[in-house]
């Protein structure tokens, strides 16, 4: 039963760890499907995390924190849009700039406002999103197998976790079942077709970036208000980039994205769990290697184990009418 509990616990932390990846990955999916490469997911998540924790701590409200996280993250997405849609700038440069601005400004503002070395004050109960216990979880905890799966694995997460996973079918539905989704996919493939069909390419791409901003805002709020009890500098720690890798790995499809993020989350969880404990045959593996494993696997997977990933054809190219 020990092994079973270990598995349940690892899977439970897999879910927790994959949530920010999943939200960021879906965020990237909206913008990249619309033809805007967004290397600035990392930065938008970071400002979201900072704004969320700061607002929650000042206004003593988790939901105000979440709202502020989304607001600031969307504002940064609009900066990216202004540079790369309106002024047809290079999307990679704009995204990198956003990451730098985010990394620098969160520390400076954090220090100026809270004087805790760039941290925000530790969040008190009520300022964080608490775990939700699903109905009946306690009642069936004792039932073998099903009990722990329901009570440990499915129940007891914050509302943002459930929201993140609900975003998967919702995103799929938006992309493939609505007019907005059809146009969004079209503008990422051939903006000229959208333009000649009488639809504004710029407005469509801005709307896609708003979706991106909302989701990176939630991802940031999750980091600082659920996973951690406050903002710590550079707390995104490359998750935005991993999310981009997952997006390619998922071939820009929402359900695939969920599995890709769960896989990366699982590797992360496994590496934490296996740190210091000897493995059969191999023996003790250095902790650094375990920590590097998700990244190594990313490289290997992207190097050819996933088949050909065809990005949206107009991705990265600013739309200019002929001439």
Partner 1 sequence: MAQAAIELIGINKSFGAVRANRDINLEIGRGTIHGIVGENGAGKSTLMSILYGFYQADSGEIRVGGQPASIKTPNDAIALGIGMVHQHFMLVDNFTVLDNVILGAESDALLKKSIAKARSELERLEREYGLEVDPDAIIEELPVGLQQRVEILKALYRGAEILILDEPTGVLTPAEADHLFRILGQLKDQGKTVVLITHKLREIMAITDTVSVMRQGTMVATRETRKTTVEELAELMVGRRVLLRVEKGEAEAGAVKLAVKNLTVKDTRGVTMVDDISFDIRAGEIVGIAGVAGNGQSELLEAISGIRRAVSGSVMLDGKPIDLTGAADPGELRDRGLAHVPEDRHHVGLVLAFEENENSILGYHDDPRYLKGPFLNIDAIRNDARDKIAKYDIRPADCRLKTANFSGGNQQKIVLAREMEQDPGVLIVGQPTRGVDVGAIEFIHKRLIAMRDQGKAVLVVSVELDEIRSLSDRILVMFAGRIVGERGPEATEGELGLLMAGIEHQEAAL
Residues that bind partner 1 (CB under 8 A): 176-183, 185-186, 189-190, 192-199, 313, 321, 323
Distance between CA 62 and CA 29 in Å, rounded?
27
| Least CB distance to partner 1 at residue 313 (A) | 7
Please identify, using beta-carbon distances, which residue of 308 and 321 lies nearer to partner 1: 321
Best CA proximity match to 18, nearest among 239, 306, 274: 239
Backbone angles phi, psi at 157, to 5 degrees: -105, 165
| Least CB distance to partner 1 at residue 253 (A) | 13
| Least CB distance to partner 1 at residue 195 (A) | 7
| Least CB distance to partner 1 at residue 210 (A) | 17
Write the CA distances from 188 to 28, 64, 140, 196, integer angstroms. 13, 34, 48, 15
**Taken in order 69, 73, 76, 82, is the CA torsion positive or negative?**
negative
**Taken in order 65, 163, 158, 235, is the CA torsion positive or negative?**
negative
End-to-end Cα separation, the chain, in angstroms: 69
Please identify, using beta-carbon distances, which residue of 76 and 252 lies nearer to partner 1: 252
Please identify, using beta-carbon distances, which residue of 170 and 176 lies nearer to partner 1: 176
| Least CB distance to partner 1 at residue 182 (A) | 6
Please identify, using beta-carbon distances, which residue of 100 and 173 lies nearer to partner 1: 173
Please identify, using beta-carbon distances, which residue of 152 and 189 lies nearer to partner 1: 189
Please identify, using beta-carbon distances, which residue of 5 and 196 lies nearer to partner 1: 196
Which helix (H) or strand (E) covers residue 131, if one does?
Answer: strand 131-132
Write the CA distances from 233 to 107, 119, 125, integer angstroms. 6, 6, 22
| Least CB distance to partner 1 at residue 29 (A) | 16
């Amino acid at each position: 039963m020990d092994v079973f509990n270990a598995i349940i616990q690892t899977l439970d932390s897999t879910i927790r760890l994959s949530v920010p990846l999943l939200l960021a990955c879906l965020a990237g999916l909206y913008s990249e499907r619309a033809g805007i490469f967004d290397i600035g997911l990392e930065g938008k998540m970071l400002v979201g995390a900072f704004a969320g924790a700061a607002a929650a701590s000042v206004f003593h409200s988790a939901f105000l924190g979440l709202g502020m996280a989304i607001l600031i993250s969307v504002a940064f997405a609009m900066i990216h849009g202004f540079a790369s849609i309106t002024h047809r700038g290079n999307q990679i440069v704009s995204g990198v700039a956003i990451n730098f601005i985010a990394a620098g400004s969160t520390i400076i503002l954090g220090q100026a406002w809270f004087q805790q070395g760039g941290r925000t004050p530790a969040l008190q109960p009520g300022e964080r999103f608490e775990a939700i216990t699903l109905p009946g979880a306690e009642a069936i905890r004792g039932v073998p197998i099903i009990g722990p799966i329901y009570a440990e694995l499915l129940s007891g997460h914050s509302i943002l976790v459930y929201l993140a996973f609900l975003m998967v079918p919702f995103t799929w539905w938006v992309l493939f079942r609505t007019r907005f989704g059809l146009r969004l996919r079209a503008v990422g493939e051939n903006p000229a077709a959208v333009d000649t069909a009488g639809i504004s390419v710029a407005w469509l791409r801005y709307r896609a970036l708003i979706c991106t901003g909302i989701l990176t805002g939630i991802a940031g709020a999750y980091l600082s208000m659920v996973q951690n009890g406050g903002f710590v500098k550079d707390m995104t720690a490359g998750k935005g980039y991993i999310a981009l890798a997952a997006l390619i790995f998922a071939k820009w499809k929402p359900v695939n994205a969920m599995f890709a993020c769960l896989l990366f989350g699982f590797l992360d969880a496994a590496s934490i769990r296996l740190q210091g404990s000897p493995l059969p045959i191999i023996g003790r593996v250095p902790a650094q290697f375990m920590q590097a494993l998700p990244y190594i696997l990313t490289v290997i997977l992207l190097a050819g184990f996933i088949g050909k990933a065809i990005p949206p054809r107009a991705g990265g190219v600013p739309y200019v009418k002929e001439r």
